[in-house]
Amino acid sequence: MDLENLAQQYLELVLAGRRQLASTLILKAVEEGTPVKAVYLDVFQPALREVGRLWEENRISIAQEHLATAVTQLVMSQLYPRVFSSERRGLALVATCLGGELHEVGVRMVADFFEMGGWDTYYLGANTPDEAVVAELQRVNAALLGVSVTISSHLARAASLIKRVRAQRGLERLKILVGGLPFLAAPELSGELGADGTAVDAAGAVARGEELVR
């Protein structure tokens, strides 16, 4: 199926709250050969960006925006048998949103891409306290930390988390990736915050993460 057309159909269904039809549309496309990675990058990502744009322009309600996100998370979970089927490589990623960050779908997609690349991923979700992030990094002996920042006013908070992680004994070799809207506009911010890099999407995050831990 043409992915642009698939994304448009999916967008219309999630905005209408047609959860079952949206799920059926995606699962059928995957069964017919559309790669899961293509669904993430070329269907979910543009559809949700369009949802965000429509909300910012006050053309849809906050309820519709939340519903579109919830439906997407549901469909992603239905794809997990394919996401978690890769051979393990002994590398661990902890992926999280900052405390105060509630937009978690992007970093969840990143975690799923690493999972499809054979990593063991520990996705902590939205609004995660710094101390919980540090504890999880130590518990799983992570090679990489992925941090999502969607609001520019949270950049200082991201810098604080990175500084705290860098100061922990046993995490000296840990690499840190950051991602989100502020870094799309200004990739150099990642270095200013003390991170090791950033990426424009989930596929790029995996490529950069592999490079950093190689």
Q: How many other C-beta atoms can be found within 10 angstroms of the C-beta atom of residue 33?
A: 8
Residue of 134, 73, 142 lying closest to 108 (CA atoms): 73
| Residues in the chain with pLDDT values less than 70 | 1
Instruction: Quickly name the fold that domain 3-83 has.
Output: 1.10.1240
Task: State phi, psi for 94 to the nearest 5 degrees.
Answer: -105, 125
What was the pLDDT predicted at 1?
63
Structure tokens at 152: 């520019």
Tell me where in the chain the CATH 3.40.50.280 domain(s) lie: 92-213
Distance between CA 197 and CA 189 in Å, rounded? Answer: 9
For residue 210, the one-letter residue type is E
CA distances from 181 to 151, 185, 204, 206 (A): 7, 7, 15, 18
What was the pLDDT predicted at 100?
79
CB-based contact 111:123 (threshold 8 Å) = yes
Distance between CA 78 and CA 205 in Å, rounded? Answer: 23
CB-based contact 98:154 (threshold 8 Å) = yes
What was the pLDDT predicted at 102?
72
Tell me where in the chain the CATH 1.10.1240.10 domain(s) lie: 3-83
What was the pLDDT predicted at 101?
77
**Class for the domain spanning 92-213:** alpha beta
